[in-house]
Amino acid sequence: MRLNLWKSIGVFSSLGFLFVAGIMSANARDLGIKPLPKQQSVQISQNNLGPVSGQWTLAIEVTAHTDLNVSTEPNYWMLTSLEQSGIELSGRILNVNQNACSDAEILGKVEGNRVSWIMYYTGSCCKDGMMKFEGVMVSPTTIEGTLVPVGSSPQNCTLWSANVVATQGHYYK
């Protein structure tokens, strides 16, 4: 018995077409392929914020002084320059108002949305005095926290506790 070549090709072509059409119309579960998971909405968390590097103005609202005979205004501002490398933070004070000391080195950390540093006063004003800042990034350009003295105040130096709002921007020195 001889097979007709054209009939054989036609039968195999028809079977191939039906097989491909069946695959295309089958549900993905029928083929053992898992469907893609539903897309979840993505929310940017505080941990996804960019680095803290840049200039920050600290709006300082003093809540208590270490020297009760102080006659200064209860509010200050400081312009700082901060540099973040990984979680490490360093910087310095660029400018201040009132009689706040400006010669200070800043060393700290950024962990998630928490920012902390210690200002080490190095100049003739409050030499060896230290202030600790602890805050939280509430937006990419705003940090809110507190600033408190560390240890006792050096002689002829007034340190203070304060609420602080730090705002990042492009300022001049």
What are the extents of the domains in the chain? 47-169
Query: Is the whole-model pTM more than 0.75?
Result: no
3-class SS at 22? helix
Among 10-14, 21-25, 92-96, 124-128, the minimum mean pLDDT is found in 21-25
Q: Determine the residue type at 29.
A: R
Q: H-helix or E-strand containing 11?
A: helix 5-25
CATH superfamily of 47-169: Quinohemoprotein amine dehydrogenase alpha subunit, domain 2 (2.40.128.120)
3-state secondary structure of 24: helix
**What residue has token string 């960019």?**
50
Mean pLDDT of all residues in 162-166: 93
Residue from 156, 148, 139, 149 nearest 56 by CA: 139
Write out pLDDT tens, residues 1-28.
555 655 555 555 555 555 545 544 544 4
